[in-house]
Amino acid sequence: MSDINIRIDGKIGHITLTRPKALNALSYDMCLAIEKALDDWREDDAVSMILIDAEGDRAFCAGGDIQELYDTGKAGDFGYGRKFWRDEYRMNAKLFEFPKPVASLMQGFTMGGGVGIGCHGSHRVVCESSQVAMPETGIGLVPDVGGSLILSRAPGRVGEYLGSTGGRIGAADAIYAGFADYFVPQEDWTALTAELVETGDWTAIDRAAKPAPAGDLEALRPQIDAHFAGETLRDILITLQDDDGDFAAKALKSLNRVSPLSAACTIEMIHRLRGSDDIRQALEMEYRFTFRAMEAGDFLEGVRAQIIDKDRNPSWKHEGPGAVTDMEVAKMLMPLGADSLTFEEEE
């Protein structure tokens, strides 16, 4: 497949995303190819570890390739999107649970679906250019591909803040928030990769790591924790509106830009997952939302405004983030019954 290069390279299973002009966006076929590699290498003694990297300087993986999701959903066919998410989430679970070390080298943009393949391994590497984000609320989704679990484990209320606003973070903040483990200057990646290929010794990553340039999140923690500790999105809004400082103003601006329904559901999901280490619980809850996102949520309108027409002027189902009721959140996150995510491959 021209979009991805999967091979055994020396002592490692090597997966390279090869769509740099498309910011290495993850297609459905790429998801299936990664899953097959995980299945093939799980019990293969020739593979000591896995390395996932990507061509180009601008992005490791800027997200999922959602054009077909939009086209089919707009035509009233919600089945393709549900299949895409179901199979992608199964691959995410296998990656999270893989019994051997999994390293990732994440330059540039690592967002959405990129987090799902880059941020569930054991040795997650960022560099000077890294920009990590779960920006799904901006297109009417929730942080998915297991991202909700990472957010729920972030320090304090950093997860609620990043998940609802969709903010981007650099290398140090990605490590602080739990999306990455190591900072290695990108100029050292070629030598590090060669050593991993030759030896299969993942401790080489520990030896290559350097201190990351300073980030912002730790200094912002007192404000984040004070404002994003509410039970619901409405509670968070009340505290932000009562604060005339810069942080509150920027957070309110972000929350007024994203889908109100998505932001409210994101807060609830993170609360439900707090204290969990179960990727399948997270993915199953995410699937409850994405299963309904086209028909009952803001996904199609969000994609239209941000990606198709690029007018950046979505007409959300709710007039503002304070207009979402607890009942509407509960409906989006209700169990799916017979349609629940099972992590089984369907014929």
Q: How far is CA 266 from the centre of its chain?
A: 13
- Alpha carbon distances (Å) from 49 to 11, 121, 142, 169: 7, 11, 31, 28
Q: In what order do the strands lie in the sheet with 49-54?
A: 4-9, 12-17, 49-54, 102-106, 123-126, 182-183
Q: Which of 178, 160, 343, 167 is nearest to 269 (CA)?
A: 160
| DSSP reduced 3-state for 202 | coil
Task: Reply yes or no on whether 136 is catalytic.
Answer: yes
Q: How far apart are CA 296 and CA 329, in angstroms?
A: 11
Task: Reply yes or no on whether 113 is catalytic.
Answer: yes
Q: How far apart are CA 105 and CA 124, in angstroms?
A: 7
The active-site residue out of 13, 63, 64, 166 is 64
Q: How far apart are CA 309 and CA 292, in angstroms?
A: 23
The active-site residue out of 53, 65, 88, 136 is 136
Q: How far apart are CA 133 and CA 188, in angstroms?
A: 24
- Alpha carbon distances (Å) from 75 to 45, 79, 147, 206: 47, 11, 28, 49
The active-site residue out of 144, 173, 268, 328 is 144
The active-site residue out of 81, 112, 113, 178 is 113
Tell whether the torsion through CA atoms of 239, 245, 251 and 253 is positive or negative: positive
Which ranges in the chain belong to alpha helices (H)?
A: 28-41, 67-74, 79-96, 113-118, 147-152, 158-165, 171-177, 189-199, 203-208, 217-227, 233-241, 246-255, 260-273, 279-296, 299-303, 326-332
Q: Which of 27, 209, 186, 214 is nearest to 105 (CA)?
A: 186
In degrees and rounded to multiples of 5, residue 283 shows phi and psi of -65, -40
Catalytic positions are: 64, 113, 136, 144
